[in-house]
Structure 1
Amino acid sequence: MLKKIDNKNMGMSDLGWLRSKFHFSFAEYYNPNNINFGVLRVINDDLVEVNTGFDTHPHRDMEIISYVVDGELTHGDSMGNKNTITRGHVQYMSAGTGVYHSEHNLGKDRLRFLQIWIFPDKQGYKPNYGDYRFDWNKRENKWLHMVSSKDGDAPIKINQDINVYSLELEEGKEINFQVDERRQAYLVQIEGKALINSIELEDRDGMEIVEEDILIHSKENSHILILEMSKEN
């Protein structure tokens, strides 16, 4: 089963300093039929203006991943971490029993990043933070496995049975992705235009994929993120 999520129908917010598209219910956007997709609770496609950002605020019992599309993202938290990541890099935080953090754009250009929240497999973990600066060319015309469960083999390991992959597919090229029985995936067409099993996605669109393999054909250079998980949760 494939279901296209047109970005024009997503929740939206414009605070001036922050403009967002919400793949799932968040903040003032509430749709009782669109709360989560499996263990995936939030994907916010955020545009953050220079010298602004999210001031210090709390989280708990959530696995949080930030994927930078353009610009610089500077993180600070109550565990003493402070780091800046750029295009194609990932930061992750297990909020666990509770943590305070901030996210700011201290760079020279507007920041675009995907803010992703994932339910943990249980509550009460010790808070944890890390980041990973992936080489961009590791995802050129091939899947870059960035995030997995603690039992998986990705560089970033979180407290849930989920796998996160990124891809940059050149115009005219094709690539497969397998979604097994009792598994599902959520795809974000971050940049460009592609056909997913003949369904056209444009930049900022999404797609739900349930127990179905897909063939991606890039109509334009395409930057794609896939989150693959169990269907049982």
Structure 2
Amino acid sequence: MLKKLPKENMGSSNLGWLESRFHFSFADYRNHDNVNFGVLRVLNDDIIHPKSGFEMHPHHDMEIISYIVDGELTHKDSIGNSQTLKRGEVQYMSAGSGIIHSEHNTSSSDDLRLLQIWIVPPKKNLQTLYGSYEYKKEQRENKLLHIVSSQDGSAAVKLHQDINIFVSELEEGKILEFHINEKRQVYFIQIEGSSNVNGIILNYGDAMEGTKEMILDIKALQKSHFLFLEMLDS
């Protein structure tokens, strides 16, 4: 079963320095009927304007992925990590018993757009993990790139939770297939452009839930940039 989630129906916020689209209940967007999809708890499509960002703040018992869409993200944390990430690159944290970090757009002129993805860990107080991976454009051009997996998986970025994340930048007219195993489900985000997924048209910012499906047939209707998460059926 496929359920399209138009961006117009999502929560939103504009704080001046930060513009956000909330896929799930978060901050001032309170929706008790839309709290999660399986172990996916938060998916925020954020635009951080120049010379601004999130000051030091804590996280615990959550696995957090930042996928950079445009601009540059500068990260610092309480365990000594500091770096700047660009388009298509991934930052990850498994906050475990606790970590404090900041995220900034230090550019004086360019916006930063990123997807903030929060995954519920399989249990509390797990080992704290932090890292990043500088994926290259050619790795996701006209193919599926596996960017996140569990510790037992094959992706360069590994979390504690049993989840997989894939991305692609697909040229107009190109087609990809993804086979979904039994008792697994997917959450699909159209980051840029538009796609036809199993007959459903998704435009910039739209999303889709897929449960009890066997395959995703993805066709780029124009140059298409998308990401989807694959996880146990809830």
Give the TM-score range, shorter chain: over 0.9
Query: C-alpha separation between the residues in 1 aligned to 2:141 and 2:212?
Result: 26
CA–CA distance in structure 2, aligned partners of residues 132 and 173 of structure 1: 26
Once residues 42 and 36 of structure 1 are traced to their aligned partners in structure 2, the CA distance between those partners, rounded to angstroms, is 7
Distance (Å, rounded) in 1 between the aligned partners of 2:62 and 2:102: 15
Residue 230 of structure 1 aligns with which residue?
232
* Structure 1: distance between partners of 2:37 and 2:59: 20
Separation in structure 2 between the aligned mates of residue 149 and residue 139 of structure 1, nearest angstrom = 20
Measured in 2, the distance between the counterparts of 1:54 and 1:126 equals 24
Contact 1:180 1:211 in 2 (8 A): no
Q: Which of structure 1's runs of 4+ aligned residues deviate more than 6 A? A: none
Q: TM-score, normalised by structure 1?
A: 0.98
Which position in structure 1 is the counterpart of 2:209? 208
Show the counterpart of 2:135: 134
Correspondence 1:117 to 2:79: no
> What is the distance in 1 between the residues matched to 2:204 and 2:181?
26
TM-score of the superposed pair, with normalisation by structure 2 = 0.98
Q: Counterpart in 1 of 2:88?
A: 88
Alignment of 1:69-88 (within 5 A): 69-88=69-88
Q: Distance in 1 between matches of 2:231 and 2:207?
A: 16
Tell me what 1:53 maps to: 53
Aligned to 2:167: 166
Aligned-pair CA distance for 1:162:
0.2
Please list every run of 5 or more consecutive structure 1 residues that lacks an aligned counterpart in the other structure. none
The one-letter amino acid paired with 2:217 is L
Deviation track 1:190-216 (CA, whole Å, cap 9, x = no partner) reads 000111111110011100011211211
- 1:156 is aligned to 157
Identity between Structure 1 and Structure 2 (%): 56
Does the aligned pair in 2 maintain the 1:186–1:206 contact within 8 Å? yes
Structure 2 CA distance for aligned equivalents of residues 148 and 56 of structure 1:
27
Structure 1 residue 126, shift from structure 2 partner? 2.6
What is the total number of aligned residue pairs between the two structures?
232
Q: CA RMSD in A?
A: 0.7
